[in-house]
Structure 1
Amino acid sequence: MAKNFPIFSDGLFTSTGQSYNISAIIDPKFHIDIDAYDRQGPLYLSTIFAMIYGLNFACLTATVVHVFLFHGRDIWQLSKSAFKYKKMDYYNEQLQLPWWGVLLACGIAVFFTLPIGVITATTNKSPGLNVITEYIIGYLYPGFPVANICFKVYGYISMKQAITFLEDFKLGHYMKIPPRAMFMAQVVGTIISALEALGLVPSDHMFYDASVIWGLVGPRRIFGDLGHYSATNWFFLGGAVAPILVWLAHKAFPDKDWIRLISIPVLLSASLNMLPATAVNYTSWVVIGFASGFIAYRYHRDWWSRHNYVLSGALEAGLAFMAVFLYLCLGMWHVGLEWWGSESEGCPLASCPTAPGVFAKGCPTL
């Protein structure tokens, strides 16, 4: 079936490879029309899209197990020290989310902030909760896409913003910026960005697709017993088992310090941005990151141990500067570069029709 779809795409498809007509399965109350859904047929994903969801499942369980095994004792000791020294109505119909959904989303954000914060602090890579929050509310409250979006925002974005705030404080500590000044900058920036987002309402294709997959259609019709992607649920088990294997290897060979440095959550989460990012984004990231890290660690190990976080911030600042610079110099004037890295799948036939009977010059006929 996957041969009918592009390999690398964030689109939603019918079994014949045509774009899925979402508007045809939505009733006037913005709820799924089951009869219309049955007439149009099941919703299908591209290969990379389905794999990314599976890796999300694995990354979530791997994060919890990895932190429990490698950092559980430290967390327990710090928690005991902390305790020792430091003694709604329903939303309106437009948002669709009941009060218990808000409380559950907040609970998920609070629970996962610590383990994901540990992974972020030690690896500078943050696993996300976007998929699992969509999965949970999709099962508990199916058929409500707006409620799914709100639950995702409260459960995932809240945790993500907490981690981002902590990253800011850590960078401010390195740069010797007073904590109160950092906090005021965060609060003012948050207020401005919220007003800007509310006024502009930026479009996000992946966010829209996720609301359809998890909210409107529901996980049961895609990843459950009524769907075609139920096998991806095995990624939950795989993600939980992988850190255990690393931990056992570390216990079996305690003299091999490098084994402890293997982080399964980082290995899994590294590929979760493949949509909308492409392979060329990852190759450039790997080359720059590996080259700078290897040189600094190999020849200036003392400097690397003190300034690696600052180096990471400098690389991110350079990326942001180049993004603005290229937009002002090239993007505004509609200047583009045609090369193999700009192809959607690195293949000149990637834009060919995937529906049977559709003809295009230079493309094969299905």
Structure 2
Amino acid sequence: MTATVASHRKPRQHPLAALFGLGPRSSRAVRLAATLALAGAATATALDGTGQAAPQPTPAQVKDRIDALYQEAEVATQNYNGAKEAADTAREELSRLQDEAARRSRKLNAARAELGAMAASRYRSGGVAPAVQLLLSADPQRYLDGAAVLERAGSHQAAAVAGYARRLGSVRQVRRQAEDTTRRLAAAETRLKRHRVTVVRKLDAAEQLLSRLTAEQRRLMASQGPAEDASDTGHEDRRTGHGDGLLGGIPAGSTATAAAGAVTQAPNSRAAQAVSFAYAALGKPYVWGATGPSAYDCSGLTQAAWKSSGVALPRTTYTQINSGPRINRSQLAPGDLVFFYSGVSHVGLYIGDGKMIHAPHPGAPVRIAPIDQMPFAGATRPA
């Protein structure tokens, strides 16, 4: 009874079905009507101006995003540098192991030939028993003398066999090392490609953001950046060898006095030479992965500067920070390495008065900048 009554209940009608004069069971029509109604409402909102488009970012916001992209690219660049260093090391080691394997193989082949000659001789003389050879010999004493020689030859043969076994083992060991090195090289090259893709992607994103800005927006963005040192002028001329020029490895003109002062204040002659080198590099372009002499990235510049004084620094910021004793910020001296960001992804060379010379990012050549324009992470004095 209950089921019979329920079956004659009047189906509920969707409000939109009633609004559009549709039947109670026209579910597809109801959905269509709802879609049309919502679309119409959205169109009306857009036409009457009540809908709001997403606000355009301010130049300051664009600058912050570009700076973040450059910093992310710097992290990837240091990872790339580390992978490249590992690949180069593995490649050199593999070449050395291949040369060593070839040298040992030549010795192994010579030992094998010697054993072959001994075996053939032994076979030819071993066809008659020694007692029979003595009976048949016309000169027993001569035979006995010859037997002693053969015994000594047997001892020599045993030594030759042992030597051959050792050489065979050494060749196999070198070949195993070469195989391991080949695997390490392949892994390093895989990382190298991955980090290269990341760097290029980050830099492309930054360039795209810059390309959307008008000249006025670029000017406003630049005005909101950290103030550059006033002496950081004329770099384009120094890059081409004109304008201020170079004097004894130190730029002449507006920076000559500052350079001479920084060199004088350096704690030792090696640091003084590194500072001199960094001043001479002012204006050279930033190129990620570059170590000079025509372009640098941040760690490539500091590595080259200290290399000029005979000190070999590792390639990346992560390893350069461990290249000497840590220095408190209050005790910084010209030539010290100053590091930035929590991940230690950027480095500059301190020149005194709260300033450094560094390679910032693409589009920004090697320049002088205050060390407080980025989050300070630590300092090291190379030794």
**TM-score, normalised via structure 1 length:** 0.23
Q: Which is richer in helix?
A: 1
Q: State which structure, 1 or 2, has the greater radius of gyration over its C-alpha atoms.
A: 2
**TM-score, normalised via structure 2 length:** 0.22
Task: Tell me which of the two structures has the higher relative contact order, counting C-alpha pairs closer than 8 angstroms and 6 or more residues apart.
Answer: 1
